């Protein structure tokens, strides 16, 4: 898709108004580039047609990684490297002494699943310290909702449509960098 | 709207005529404002206690553990008692943010931020004890399985004390990222409201550039849900592992399979008591009574009743099994020669009174909805749960298998000083938090405002649609005040300025008028256009000036008077 440098910012002051506006704009086959909201508006991603996130699947895989790390580490240290007799605990095979290894297997699974998922989230959503805020209007973290629609030669129609959706402000913005 | 359906039977969770903007203002106020005198007094006391405790810790480490009251029989006493007590307190935070999220409990949203903060600060206190109770704490890094020059000498993974290391560090770090991720949208809100450049810079850094895109929110919610799903078994496992320190031993009274669930229930019990203690004070001090309502306190009291009941059943079970086992060493049977009648009878009966008898009063609806009484009960439970750990640890150790080893324990001032120090440290952290962090998850509370806010409930019951009702006049006025308007109203403006006084930009400083509740960005512009820039001027406004301003601005009829701008301005001057 070609990059249009002009976008329209339609600002709403109510989440329900925003939802019906998004549906209307979608029905008219316009491309919504972005919606900035101060809080998660439930159902907005569906209305916009965003693909579901796969971050939970990633987390599951990270958890499996953590479990593997725990098993390999303890098997190596306790069974292969120094198979010592500590208080009569059987160290002949991993399975023999497994009950004592379960707490750490569990903790490392959770550790890997949680932290790697959060890191993935930060990287995918591009949030990290010293990152500049990207919301075009500071009011969108308070009680305003901003819909950004790409303009592609249909300015007047689009402005008319957005003005009819209950927007309190409709601004044409040149995003040329 | 059907999306905001809520059973009419439910009481509102956000009281008052709140709009989305009100939530931002109310949550931002303690952060963007200045600390008052009582904050500084309490902070100083906490700091002194912390420094005293720090001195005791340094004294212990430089002199030796012998400065504590431990002896050859009782090698664990206040150190591990305090450790388990603090870890237990920490558990309520994760329970509120994770378990209640899985159960979709909307009331969690006003309390989860502070409960999580409490978790983190409590686990930090707990984390001190495993280090400082070591004889040689400078070798503490040996508990980590790091390759080394001793032929790679590893740790022994059979020990619950090592499991503790993994459990506590996982718990602390996962709680921390869970909390921080939830904070990003709220830091972003503060960032966008901050006026002072330094504050703006700090919150820009803290908010990691959060922008609130639809995709970000989608991931954010999924991440929160998965973290809640991970944190729930984590919170159960952590206190389970802590209980293994005792349950896997051969000490009569410790060797008990009931400990894992019983410790977890006790942790939630004591944790909720601490949440109550803190929030009852905080809602008052930070003016958050519309968000942390009586209903929240009652719900938390119900959790206390439940977990207190579980703990009581555990006591009875222990007692029964002690008798039923027929083992003469099972001196946990309180009556044989153990707790109830022995030299530690006072600790035992303190436990029964504080954890079993006093919380029973919460079954009475009138009492569990009484804030003062709730505060008293919460304090009593905190004390009782300390005694529970003291009983389990010290009383059971004091009379072991060989009577020749029987002894008593009495703490020294260093034992007590370190405990005081951790309480001080906890409050230092919590008080700093309450001044710099958004103490209510405002982004989350905004999601339930339309379903559980008092105002919206009323609208819904009147059969009205909620669409468009979130619009706040203060933040969304379309009209602007231009030169023509100025000309038209010049007479009124002169009258108005005559009464409130002219503003002299060479000698006076412009105030941030939006601090006054009821003045938004647009209204402030209006006021500035007229020539009103300072609190001093606003504080001189009376009914006549309000009416003049109303007719000049042509909107906000009667708003200024209702909000009592003059009174608010006076308060801001005196701050």
Tens digit of each residue's pLDDT (9 = 90 or more) over B373-386: 999 999 999 999 99
Q: Measured between beta carbons, which residues in chain B are less than 8 angstroms from residue A50?
A: 214-215, 218
Q: How confident is the model over B207-218, as a mean pLDDT?
A: 92
Q: Which residue of chain B is at minimal alpha-carbon distance from A104?
A: B163
Contact A39 B446 (CB under 8 A): yes
DSSP state of B72: S
How many whole angstroms separate alpha carbon A72 and alpha carbon A66? Answer: 10
Question: Which one is predicted more confidently, B66 or B534?
Answer: B66
Tell me, what's the pLDDT at B521?
67
Q: Are A8 and A148 in contact (CB under 8 A)?
A: yes
Q: Mapping DSSP to helix (H, G, I), strand (E, B) and coil, where does residue B335 land? A: coil
Question: Which one is predicted more confidently, B556 or A64?
Answer: A64
Any B CB within 8 A of A172 CB: no
Residue B507 has pLDDT above 80, yes or no: no
Could you give the count of Cα atoms lying within 13 Å of A174 in the half-sphere of its Cβ? 2
How many whole angstroms separate alpha carbon A154 and alpha carbon B321? Answer: 80
Among A77-86, B300-309, B432-441, B507-516, the minimum mean pLDDT is found in B507-516
Q: What sign results for the dihedral spanned by CA atoms B280, B285, B290, B291? A: negative
Contact B237 A114 (CB under 8 A): no
Q: Are B232 and B102 in contact (CB under 8 A)?
A: yes
Tell me, what's the pLDDT at B558?
73
Which B residues 443-502 touch A at CB under 8 Å?
A: 443-444, 446-447, 450, 466-472, 475-476, 478
Name residue, tokens 């707990």: B126
Q: Which residue of chain A is at minimal alpha-carbon distance from B184?
A: A127
Contact B156 A86 (CB under 8 A): yes
Tell me, what's the pLDDT at B479?
43
Q: Measured between beta carbons, which residues in chain A are less than 8 angstroms from residue B216?
A: 125, 127
Contacts of B44 (CB under 8 A, 6+ apart): none
Q: How confident is the model over B240-262, as a mean pLDDT?
A: 91
| CA nearest neighbour of B392 among B45, B29, B66, B84 | B84
Q: Are B396 and B254 in contact (CB under 8 A)?
A: yes
Name residue, tokens 């468009």: B468
Any A CB within 8 A of B174 CB: yes
Dmax over Cα atoms in chain A, in whole Å?
83
Contact A45 B215 (CB under 8 A): yes
Among A63-72, B11-20, B134-143, B455-464, the minimum mean pLDDT is found in B455-464
Q: Are B296 and B13 in contact (CB under 8 A)?
A: yes
Which B residues 10-39 touch A at CB under 8 Å?
A: 19-21, 24
Complex prediction ipTM = 0.93
Any A CB within 8 A of B146 CB: no
Question: Which one is predicted more confidently, A163 or A40?
Answer: A40
Which A residues 67-96 touch B at CB under 8 Å?
A: 73-74, 77-78, 81-82, 84, 86-87, 89
User: What does each C-alpha distance from A88 to A43, A84, A92 come to in angstroms?
Assistant: 58, 9, 11
Contact A142 B226 (CB under 8 A): no
Pick from A107, A134, A139 the residue to mutate for testing the B interface (most B CBs within 10 Å): A107
Sort residue B184 into left (φ over 0), alpha (ψ -120 to 50) or beta: alpha
Any B CB within 8 A of A48 CB: yes
Chains A & B: contacts with CB separation below 8 Å: 239
Tell me, what's the pLDDT at B337?
59
Which B residues 507-546 touch A at CB under 8 Å?
A: none
- Residue B517: phi, psi to the nearest 5? -65, 125
Q: Which residue of chain B is at minimal alpha-carbon distance from A47?
A: B214
Q: What sign results for the dihedral spanned by CA atoms B523, B527, B528, B533? A: negative
pLDDT cut 90: percent of chain B above it: 54
Per-residue confidence at A2, pLDDT binned at 50, 70, 90? very low
* B158 closest CB neighbour out of A19, A34, A89: A89
Estimate to the nearest angstrom the gap between the alpha carbon of B307 and the chain centroid. Answer: 19
Residue B480 has pLDDT above 60, yes or no: no
Q: Measured between beta carbons, which residues in chain B are less than 8 angstroms from residue A117?
A: 223, 226-227
Highest mean pLDDT of the ranges B37-41, B79-83, B524-528: B79-83
Q: Are B435 and B31 in contact (CB under 8 A)?
A: yes
How many whole angstroms separate alpha carbon A136 and alpha carbon A140? Answer: 8
Q: Measured between beta carbons, which residues in chain B are less than 8 angstroms from residue A10?
A: none
Any B CB within 8 A of A113 CB: yes
Contact A113 B205 (CB under 8 A): no
* B223 closest CB neighbour out of A45, A84, A118: A118
Contact A118 B471 (CB under 8 A): no
Any B CB within 8 A of A102 CB: no
pLDDT cut 70: percent of chain A above it: 97
Work out the mean pLDDT of chain B and round it to a whole number. Answer: 87
Contact B192 A39 (CB under 8 A): no
Any B CB within 8 A of A153 CB: no
How many whole angstroms separate alpha carbon A78 and alpha carbon A85? Answer: 10
Structure tokens at B448: 């339930």
Residue B1 has pLDDT above 50, yes or no: no
User: What does each C-alpha distance from A108 to A64, B29, B169, B237 come to in angstroms?
Assistant: 10, 40, 10, 12
Contact A168 B470 (CB under 8 A): no
Structure tokens at A3: 């990059």
How many whole angstroms separate alpha carbon B518 and alpha carbon B559? Answer: 7
How many whole angstroms separate alpha carbon B378 and alpha carbon B380? Answer: 5
Any A CB within 8 A of B377 CB: no
Q: Measured between beta carbons, which residues in chain A are less than 8 angstroms from residue B469?
A: 14
Contact A129 B189 (CB under 8 A): no
Contact A13 B241 (CB under 8 A): no
């Amino acid at each position: 898709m070609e990059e249009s440098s002009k976008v329209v910012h339609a600002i709403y002051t109510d989440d329900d108004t925003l939802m019906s506006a998004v549906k209307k704009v979608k029905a008219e086959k316009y491309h919504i580039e972005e919606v900035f909201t101060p809080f998660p508006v439930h159902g907005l991603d569906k209305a916009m047609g965003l693909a579901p996130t796969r971050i939970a699947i990633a987390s599951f895989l990270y958890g499996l990684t953590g479990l593997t790390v725990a098993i390999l580490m303890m098997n190596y240290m306790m069974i292969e490297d120094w198979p010592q007799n500590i208080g009569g605990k059987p160290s002949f095979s991993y399975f023999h002494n497994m009950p004592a290894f379960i707490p750490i297997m569990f903790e490392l699974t959770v550790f890997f699943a949680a932290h790697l998922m959060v890191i993935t989230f930060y990287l995918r959503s591009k949030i990290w310290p010293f990152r500049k805020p990207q919301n075009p209007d500071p009011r969108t973290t308070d009680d305003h909702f901003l819909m950004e629609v790409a303009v592609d030669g249909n300015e007047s129609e689009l402005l008319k449509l957005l003005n009819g959706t209950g927007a309190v402000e409709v601004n044409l913005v040149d995003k040329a960098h | 709207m059907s999306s905001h359906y809520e059973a009419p039977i439910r009481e509102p969770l956000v009281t008052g005529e709140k709009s989305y903007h009100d939530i931002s203002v109310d949550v931002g106020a303690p952060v963007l404002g200045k600390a008052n005198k009582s904050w500084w007094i309490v902070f100083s006391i906490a700091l002194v206690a912390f420094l005293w405790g720090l001195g005791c810790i340094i004294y212990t480490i430089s002199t030796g553990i012998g400065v504590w009251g431990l002896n050859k029989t009782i090698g664990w006493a206040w150190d591990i008692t305090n450790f388990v007590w603090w870890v237990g307190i920490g558990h309520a935070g994760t329970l509120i943010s994770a378990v209640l999220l899985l159960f979709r409990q909307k009331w969690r949203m006003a309390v989860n931020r502070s409960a999580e903060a409490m978790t983190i600060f409590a686990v930090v206190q707990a984390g001190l004890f495993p280090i400082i109770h070591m004889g040689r704490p400078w070798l503490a890094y040996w508990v980590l399985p790091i390759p080394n020059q001793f032929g790679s000498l590893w740790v022994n993974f059979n020990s619950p004390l090592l499991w503790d290391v993994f459990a506590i560090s996982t718990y602390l770090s996962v709680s921390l990222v869970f909390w921080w991720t939830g904070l990003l949208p709220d830091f972003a809100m503060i960032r966008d409201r901050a006026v002072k450049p330094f504050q703006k810079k700090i919150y820009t850094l803290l908010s990691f550039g959060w922008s609130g895109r639809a995709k970000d929110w989608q991931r954010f919610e999924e991440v929160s849900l998965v973290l809640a799903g991970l944190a729930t078994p984590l919170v159960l496992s952590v206190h389970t592992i802590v209980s293994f320190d005792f349950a896997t031993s051969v000490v009569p009274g410790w060797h008990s399979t009931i400990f894992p669930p019983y410790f977890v229930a006790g942790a939630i019990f004591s944790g909720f008591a601490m949440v109550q203690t803190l929030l009852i004070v905080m809602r008052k001090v930070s003016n958050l009574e519309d968000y942390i309502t009586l209903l929240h306190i009652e719900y938390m009291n119900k959790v206390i009743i439940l977990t207190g009941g579980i703990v009581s059943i555990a006591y009875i079970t222990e007692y029964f099994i002690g008798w039923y086992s027929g083992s003469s060493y099972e001196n946990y049977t309180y009556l044989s020669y153990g707790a109830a009648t022995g030299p530690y009878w006072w600790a035992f009966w303190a436990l029964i009174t504080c954890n079993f008898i006093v919380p029973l009063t919460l079954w009475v609806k009138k009492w569990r909805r009484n804030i003062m009484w709730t505060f008293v009960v919460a304090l009593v439970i905190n004390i009782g749960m300390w005694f529970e750990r003291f009983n389990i640890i010290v009383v059971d150790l004091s009379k072991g298998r060989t009577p020749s080893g029987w002894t008593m324990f009495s703490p020294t001032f260093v034992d007590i000083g370190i405990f005081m120090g951790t309480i001080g440290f906890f409050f230092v952290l919590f008080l700093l938090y309450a001044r710099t962090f958004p103490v209510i998850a405002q982004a989350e509370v905004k999601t339930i405002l339309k379903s559980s806010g008092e105002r919206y409930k009323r609208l819904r019951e009147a059969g009205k649609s909620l669409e468009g009702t979130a619009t706040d006049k203060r933040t969304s006025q379309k009209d602007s005040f231009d030169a023509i308007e100025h000309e038209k109203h010049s007479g009124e403006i002169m009258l108005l300025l005559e009464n409130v006084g002219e503003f002299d930009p060479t000698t006076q400083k412009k105030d941030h008028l939006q601090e006054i509740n009821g003045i938004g960005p647009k209204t402030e512009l209006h006021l500035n256009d007229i020539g009103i820039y300072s609190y001093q001027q606003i504080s001189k406004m009376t009914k006549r000036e309000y009416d003049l301003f109303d007719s000049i601005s042509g909107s906000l009829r009667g708003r200024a008077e209702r909000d009592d701008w003059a009174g608010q301005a006076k308060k801001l001057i005196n701050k």
